[in-house]
Amino acid sequence: MNPWITGKTKLTGLLGYPVSHSLSPAMHNAAFAYLQLEYAYLAFEANEGNLDDIVKAMRALQARGFNVTMPNKKNILPLLDEVTPEARMIGAVNTVLHENGRLIGYNTDGRGYVHSLEEKGIAVAGKKILLAGAGGAGRAVAVQLAVDGAAQIVILNRTRGKAEAICDVIQKSIPACRVQPFGLDETTLKQQVKEADIFINATALGMHPHEDKSVIASPDMLPGNLIVSDLIYTPAKTKLLRIAEQAGCRTINGQGMIIWQGAESFKIWTGVDMPVDYIKGLMFPE
């Protein structure tokens, strides 16, 4: 018997498609159970065709909140009553709180990422950051780095226009952070990486089916005092992180980000800290 499933149990969940592979139900339900909080988390298939109906259903069921994933992170915006300034800058929501009949949209991806650095003693304020990748995750990370006081963010992306779009948004809202967009090419990477304190990979290179690829081709491109962070969490050690280790760099994978973005959502819904060490042990046993 689950003593925390009662007549007062509140619904949370995930709206996306596909959702059957998601780690979020296991993560949140394990945390609710551990703390004996009266919440449950379920995954719901939601896409462009039925998102509106499902959001209305979440209101009607008095769900406490929900996560939103692909393909709904942008499409959810017009269905909400309020959106935080960070989520508005990112242009995407991954967490919704249902409070007093209002749906409030947050984006915890960037905050989760910065938290994953902070837990390792790395502050981003005042740092020069080189970011490869300007998709959804890259955009969330870039905005949060700027919000948290990064001095400079150089963004490289295969499709340069997406890097430019993020830089425009940051420049308008946080002018104290210097931003510069480039295409993703080896010459620019080689130049820019010498100047950076932290290098972040937010491209899909290194993740299935690109496990044999890395944005950095060889260890001699990397100064040994650089912190190298890859948002990818499967595999835990990407080709980039292996190359960075050979160069003597400190490396950080994406496991902290996935946990902390969930922990931020958990806190928004419950007001309680997620038992992060316990959840890490379950999701990524050593």
Task: Just list the catalytic residues.
Answer: 73
Nearer to ligand NAP, 121 or 209 (CB): 209
Smallest separation, CB 246 to ligand NAP (Å): 21
What letter represents residue 18's amino acid?
Answer: P
Among 207, 241, 247, 252, binds ligand NAP (CB under 6 A): 207
Of 265, 222, 197, the C-alpha closest to 24 is: 265
Binding mask 232-261 for ligand NAP (x = CB under 6 A): xx--------------------x--xx--x
76 in Cβ contact with 105 (< 8 Å): yes
CA 224 centroid distance within chain: 26
Give the number of residues written for the chain: 286
Residue among 145 and 184 whose Cβ is closer to ligand NAP: 184
Residue 186 or 195: the one with the smaller Cβ distance to ligand NAP is 186
* Residue from 193, 205, 203, 112 nearest 163 by CA: 203
Give the per-residue contact string, 12-51, with ligand NAP (x = CB under 6 A; - = no).
----------------------------------------
Give the C-alpha separation, 201 to 142, whole Å.
Answer: 11
Q: In angstroms, rounded to a whole number, what is the distance separating the alpha carbons of residues 41 and 24?
A: 8
For ligand NAP, the binding residues (CB under 6 A) are 109, 133-138, 157-159, 162, 184, 202-205, 207, 231-233, 254, 257-258, 261
